Amino acid sequence: MTPVAAAEAERYFERLNDEFDAAAEVELHERDLAVANQRLRLRFASPAAAERLYPAVSHLEVPVAGGADVEFCIWDGRATGRSAPGFPWAPDDLTLRGAVRPLCDDRVHTSLEQLSGALICRHHASHRLLCWIPDAEALPWAARSSPVRSAFGWALATPSMPFVHAGCVGRDGNGVLIVGPSGSGKSTTSVACAAAGLDYASDDYLFVRIGEPVVAHSLYCTARIHDYDIERVPGLSGAVVGWVDGPGPKGVVDVRRLAPDRIRKRIQAHALVIPRPTGNSVTTMRAVGSAEALRAMAPSSILQVPQEDPRAALTALGHLARELPAYVLELGGDAMDAA
């Protein structure tokens, strides 16, 4: 990274910060969250952005007080009239994960989020993360159900607490991580467990603190369930608040409606469970080794979930696979059998 390029990254952060400050002078709404033992302040300079992004994380709300460990400054270009500064890069400057190469260095990280179209710029020293959205009212449910996921990953993930593609359910503060690639049944299994009376922390994305004990930290209280699975879980259809379009439509489930008293901010994890749909008539479980557990958990966690240091995240996932017993849950029969 040349000094000129490094200066460009910081200058762009400052210009983007000026745009947020100008938008916030007109209107500002603040919410504090407790996320994995850190206080995160969401500063919305647009009601539309707050209405569409906040519900999925609202179960983590704490009173606004004192300072915060990290600030997310979020605004909507269409609603506020404050745009992101002109993009000083070419299309081939973007990495496959959305990072803007000329605007990333050891002080600043800038990326484009594909689902939301959000431009996310983080300044490490200031602990401030800027998130500009072109039009909050046009955000699809795919983005609203797990809002600014990359921002959470860049801001909060550490070598000892990776951002993991997994669900988590349990009882009395203890439970299991539900891992596997997209389409393996993580969400249906997690939500069926919540409907059956278990505690729920996640169906798809969470932070996992590595150590003794291993602790899963919730991020979103929304789940995405294939349309053909919704009627299989009692009460699920009444908790659907939107739809994710695509070849296989998914209903966005507000778990607060399904199991309002069973959402947990953290659950101590004692095992890894790998769901696998089968054509069998009954649901069964069998123990597997750490290598199979890592193969089920690592690819989607590294490729789909933002990590500042993918190698460190892989090391942490390897530790989880070695330290926690793993089981394959062969799903058969009715979805509620898994619970």
DSSP string, 221-233: SEEEEEHHHHTTS
Q: In the predicted model, is pLDDT for residue 310 greater than 60? A: yes
Averaged pLDDT of the chain: 90
Average pLDDT over residues 134-151: 93
- With beta carbons less than 8 A apart as the criterion, state whether 154 and 99 touch: no
Q: Are 120 and 154 in contact (CB under 8 A)?
A: yes
Using left for φ > 0, alpha for ψ between -120 and 50, and beta otherwise, residue 334 falls in beta
Read off the pLDDT of each residue in 93-104 and give the average, rounded to a whole number: 86
For 2, the token pair is 């040349």
What percentage of the chain reaches a pLDDT higher than 90?
67
Residue 92's pLDDT band (boundaries 50, 70, 90)? Answer: confident
- Which carries the bigger pLDDT value, residue 153 or residue 45? 45
How is residue 185 annotated by DSSP? S
Please tell me the predicted confidence (pLDDT) of residue 42: 97
Q: Is 228 exposed, middle or buried (0-12, 13-18, 19+ CB in 10 A)?
A: exposed
Q: Are 13 and 42 in contact, with CB atoms under 8 Å apart?
A: no
Q: What is the pLDDT of residue 32?
A: 97
Alpha-carbon distances of 298 from 190, 313, 314, 315, rounded to whole Å? 19, 9, 7, 10
Amino acid 292 reads E
Query: Per residue in 50-74, pLDDT tens?
Result: 999 999 999 999 999 999 999 999 9
Pairing of strands 163-171, 205-209: antiparallel
Residue 25, by phi and psi: left (phi above 0), alpha (psi -120 to 50) or beta?
alpha
301: pLDDT strictly greater than 80 = yes
The pLDDT of residue 26 is 95
Listed residue (339, 169, 176) closest to 269, CA to CA: 176
CA-derived radius of gyration, the chain: 20
The reported pTM is 0.91
pLDDT tens by residue, 183-238: 888 999 999 999 999 999 999 999 999 988 999 999 999 999 999 899 889 999 99
Range with top average pLDDT, 75-79, 147-151, 296-300: 75-79
Q: Give the tens place of pLDDT for each residue, 228-282.
A: 899 889 999 999 999 998 778 999 999 999 999 999 999 999 999 999 887 777 8
Q: What is the DSSP letter of 150?
A: H
Supply the pLDDT for residue 6.
53
Cα angle 154, 325, 222; round to 5:
45
CA distance 75 to 17: 11
Q: What span, in angstroms and rounded, lies between the C-alpha atoms of 40 and 54? A: 13
Q: What pLDDT does 307 receive? A: 67
Q: Write down the pLDDT at residue 140.
A: 95
Above pLDDT 70, what percent of the chain?
A: 95
Q: How far apart are CA 26 and CA 84, in angstroms?
A: 17
Q: How confident is the model at residue 311 (pLDDT cuts 50, 70, 90)?
A: confident
Instruction: Give per-residue pLDDT as tens, 278-289.
Output: 777 788 899 999
pLDDT of residue 334: 56
Q: Which amino acid is at 237?
A: S
CA torsion sign for 96, 244, 169, 206 is: positive
Q: Which residues face 41 on adjacent strands? A: 32, 71
Strand-pairing partners, residue 175, are 170, 269
pLDDT of residue 121: 94
Residue 162: its pLDDT value, please? 92
